[in-house]
Amino acid sequence: MDLSTPLAALGPVFRMKRSALSKIGLETVEDLLLYTPFRYDNNLIVSKIGPTQPGETVTIQGNVIKTSNVFTKKKLTIQRIIIEDETGSIEAVFFNQRFLLKNVHEGDFVSFAGRIDRFGNKKTIAVRSYEVLKSENSEAIHTIGLVPIYSEKNGLTSKWFRNRIKPLIDNLHVTDYLPESIIHENQLMSLSAAISSIHFPKTLTDAERARLRFSFDELLIRNAAASIRKKKLLEKERAVPFEVKKNKPKIQKFIKSLPFELTSAQRKAIDDIFSDLSKDTPMNRLLEGDVGSGKTVVASVAAYLAYLNGFQVAFMAPTEILANQHFLTLSKFLEPQGLKIELLTGSSKKKDKGSKIKEKNQPPTPKRQFDIAVGTHALIHKRAEFEKMGLVIIDEQQRFGVEQRAILKEKGTNPHLLSMTATPIPRTIFLTIYADLALSVLDELPVGRKRVKTWLTPEEKRENGYKWIAEKVKGEKSQVFIVCPFIEPSETLSTVKAAKEEFEKLQKEVFPDLNLGLLHGKMKAAEKDEVIKNFREGKVDILVATPVIEVGIDIPTADIIVIEAADRFGLAQLHQLRGRVGRGDKESYCLLFSDSKSDTTRERLTYLQTISDGAKLAEIDLKLRGPGDMFGTAQHGAPDLRIASLTDLTTVEAAAKAAEKILPQLDHYLDLKERIEQADIPKVSKD
Ligand code: ADP
Ligand code: MG
């Protein structure tokens, strides 16, 4: 057995849980060993029974001298187990653990961790965890020491993990894949010590050092992989350079045709992109810009240049709603220039427009089906047949995995790639994890944009708030988003149910004479389209939605947004949500509601009242809540690290240095080399 052995090969206990394991990505011994505990129960104090005192939390061991199962009224059962050692005896009481006495019998040697208590003059223990041991000399893994607690999913309990992981660690011989010099210079734990200490540490310091070792490895591997990618891109991959100069007049004319002037940040980004596109190495550029900074139009200009060079463009967005919106935007901008745009999403059929219907009955022509295909994942998996794809554009790139981006790129031969995101990524992190990406930042909002006036509204002002909204709708034709509480990280049935209930209540009781629409992720694509279309056209006054509208929706006439249970979101996410309004020239408003009584929570939310810069808010988030929330809980993690934390800049930098040092000698460290290469292999995503 080694780290790469499939778990299924280790026997029936693993095979029985195969699908549960694979659902959380555990396929090999290594996967399981890197499934690290998120905390430890402290059972460091072990005591004889006699000297224990009420109030102490301890682990005691002894022989079972009596067990009983007592049935009380109301179907309650109580299990009593008396154990003794050479210093005394004690009674453990359990409630409703009917199967307990199938596992624990008189004469067994057991270990109990829990709190000592007293009933009258009888000493008892409230057991937190127990285990039956083969003999007094057997090692207790559930009740003594720092006992690992794992995230429990699909019926896999912490006890199950401990029972499986302990023998694996005891029987595993691993050779360290890191060079001795790197381990030494960075004072890292050896691989085998780290594996053992992360699960069963002797002290919390040990656990911390083990975690550090894995973080280091992960960052080193990611960094090295990015550097290799960059080098390959520069040396090997040849893209067809786009002709820029010759097409300048047409581009200029197109930009003039837009209904607004480009900001200078947009013009600068377009220059960056054109300069990349005119090279014979494929572009790999990230366009970062706060919500509403106008990334889409920059992408449209790039797409137009691709078209003028005879290439097709793939434009991928994370949701159908967004794909649909981009489809409309691109059609509006680029159809007048003669481009054919097509929409490809999972559930919707091709959007037939008048001109296409006519084409249907004509004999097939050698002419191309489309110039730009806009879509969701469907672009990757299905129907999109590209003849000559030269540019891939990915919106909200943090929503996609590395794999998905790679697969889409493979539909062309070395196409240029433009990714877009509103998530600000600190520079050090950018250099470390995305060493192969070039960056353009839209650090300027279009002129005339007003700040969204934001209030954390106390519950007692809710009714007044609703009244004000009704007046704004009737008097000034305001259009309103009401974002319902986000109940689960992903949009589950309970979230949808809450939205439906809120919608019905609001329509019946609060806004009976206004038009309300409902939008949630479980609706059919056609229904969603219909609601959004009605909202866009002003036929719906108030759109009640789950947080699906977080990403990208652009309806410039909307000017009020209400966010319920705001405390459940990170500041950066709230900022994204708020960015759904304030896109036109109307004064816009955001009302935040939260029933949290915590002062720190309310204080956190008040940052939104004064700060309107997404990058600043993300920074505050990072400080207050850590990196997990920066990218949003429900999202495909960008940069989806398993263990490492991006806030640990010291490790980020040390790992980057080590990667740089090791790269030229990689052929001496084949195991490490393989890991670095593996980090880049596109896996087909399961969702
Ligand atoms: P995001 O960067 O958040 O994706 P969008 O591309 O959706 O932003 O643009 C937001 C809105 O701003 C759109 O309605 C778009 O037409 C408009 N817009 C983009 N650039 C400008 C500009 N230079 N001046 C005025 N409005 C603009
Ligand atoms: Mg956008």
Q: Directed axis angle between helix 191-199 and helix 204-235, to 10°?
A: 130
Which two three-digit tokens encode residue 170?
A: 């005891």
pTM: 0.64
Q: Above 50 in pLDDT, residue 635?
A: no
Question: Which residue, by CA, sits nearest to atom 23 of ligand 1?
Answer: 262
Distance CA 603, CA 622 (A): 15
Handedness of CA 45, 51, 57, 58 (dihedral sign): positive
Cα of 556 from ligand 1 centre, angstroms? 9
Gap from CA of 395 to ligand 2 centroid (Å): 7
Cα separation, 429 vs 679, whole angstroms: 17
Q: Which two tokens stand for residue 362?
A: 């004509």
What whole-number distance in Å separates Cα of residue 273 and Cα of residue 366? 31
Is pLDDT of 235 > 80? no
260 lines ligand 1 (CB under 6 A): yes
Please give the distance, rounded to the nearest whole angstrom, from the Cα atom of residue 270 to the centre of ligand 1: 14
Cβ 554 under 6 angstroms from ligand 1? yes
**137 Cα–ligand 2 center, Å:** 63
Q: What is the largest CA-CA distance in the chain?
A: 97
DSSP string, 581-626: SS-SSS--EEEE------HHHHHHHHHHHH---HHHHHHHHHHHH-
- Residue 262 CB less than 6 A away from ligand 1: yes
Q: In angstroms, what is the span from residue 567 Cα to ligand 1's centroid?
A: 28
pLDDT digits (tens, 9 = 90+) for 499-516: 888 899 999 999 999 999
Atom 18 of ligand 1, residue of closest alpha carbon: 294
Averaging pLDDT over each range in 67-71, 222-226, 363-367, 534-538, which range is the top one? 534-538
Question: DSSP code of 80?
Answer: E
296 lines ligand 1 (CB under 6 A): yes
Mean pLDDT of 54-59: 95
Ligand 1 binding pocket includes 594 (Cβ within 6 Å): no
pLDDT in tens, 188-214: 999 999 999 999 999 999 999 999 999
pLDDT of 366 above 60: no
Ligand 1 centroid – CA 131 distance (Å): 62
pLDDT surpasses 80 at 380: no
CB of 582 closer than 6 angstroms to any ligand 1 atom: no
Structure tokens that stand for 169 in this block: 């660690």
Question: Who's near 426: CB < 8 A, 6+ residues apart?
Answer: 619, 622, 646
> In the predicted model, is pLDDT for residue 617 greater than 90?
no
Q: What is the pLDDT of residues 8-37, one digit of tens each?
A: 999 999 999 999 999 988 999 999 999 999
* Ligand 1 mean position, distance from CA 579 (Å): 11
The full 3-state SS of 454-468, as one line of letters, equals EEECCHHHHHHHHHH
Name the 3-class secondary structure at 632. Answer: coil
Mean pLDDT over residues 449-469, rounded? 92
Residue 546 pLDDT: 83
**Is residue 297 lining ligand 1, measured as CB closer than 6 Å?**
yes
In ligand 1, which atom is closest to the CA atom of 584? 14
Distance CA 14, CA 6 (A): 10
68 by Cβ neighbours in 10 Å (0-12 / 13-18 / 19+) ranks as exposed
Is residue 389 helix, strand or coil?
strand
Q: DSSP per residue over 279-305, as a string? A: SSS--EEEEEE-TTS-HHHHHHHHHHH
Q: How many residues does the chain have?
A: 687
* Residue 421, strand partner residues: 288
Q: Is 132 in the pocket of ligand 1 (CB under 6 A)?
A: no
Determine the average pLDDT of the residues in 89-97: 91
Ligand 1 atom 19 nearest Cα: 294
